Amino acid sequence: MQVPSTSMRGGIVIRRAVARDAKRLTRLVRGSRAYGGQYAAMVAGYRVGPDYVETHRVFVAVDADDAAGRVLGFYSLVLVPPELDLLFVQDGMQGRGIGRLLVEHMMSEARAAGLDRVRVVSHPPAEGFYRSVGALLTGTVAANPPAVAWDRPELEFLIQ
């Protein structure tokens, strides 16, 4: 079992996810408006399982003032090969700095793990966000129908 670690800023706590968070994270992914329309098929059957949470460095941002610990967003850092696998912010909470806070936390975790770079294969509409928080465009990942019917930007965070 992983030992949860936490950090706090501005009423938002970032803590290590635990297996019992998996269903909430799955709902956040599947319910994301960013994956509506042409992108809906990509997340329709997606599942963040307890085994995934236990295997990778998954962190959740929660509202410190909410007794239920409402999840505002989360990310998953895969160490081998180094990749930001998932990053989602709850609909209605975007534009409040939560994504930026999650990226800063991810960079700190990557640095602590001894990584010098972290790859991101981005959802096309999220490319601007990743670039705004310091990721560099490195290429394009070709479509892989039927699950992913569009090319996706490939970016990289340099860890210093």
pLDDT tens for residues 4-30?
455 666 789 999 999 999 999 999 999
Among residues of the chain, what percentage have pLDDT more than 90? Answer: 75
pLDDT at 5: 54
More confident residue, 65 or 118: 118
The band of 3, judged by pLDDT with boundaries at 50, 70 and 90, is very low
Nearest residue to 14 via CA among 4, 25, 1: 4
How far apart are alpha carbons 130 and 92 in whole angstroms?
19
> Are 73 and 90 within 8 A, CB to CB?
yes
- Taking residues 140-151, report their average pLDDT: 88
- Taking residues 99-104, report their average pLDDT: 97
Lowest-pLDDT range of 14-23, 59-68, 119-128, 141-150: 141-150
DSSP letter for each residue of 78-112: ETTTTEEEEEEE-TT-TTSSHHHHHHHHHHHHHHH
pLDDT at 1: 39
Q: Report the alpha-carbon angle 58-47-72, nearest 5.
A: 50
pLDDT tens for residues 41-92?
888 889 999 999 999 999 999 998 888 888 999 999 999 999 999 999 999 9
> Are 72 and 91 within 8 A, CB to CB?
no
Lowest-pLDDT range of 24-28, 39-43, 99-103, 153-157: 39-43
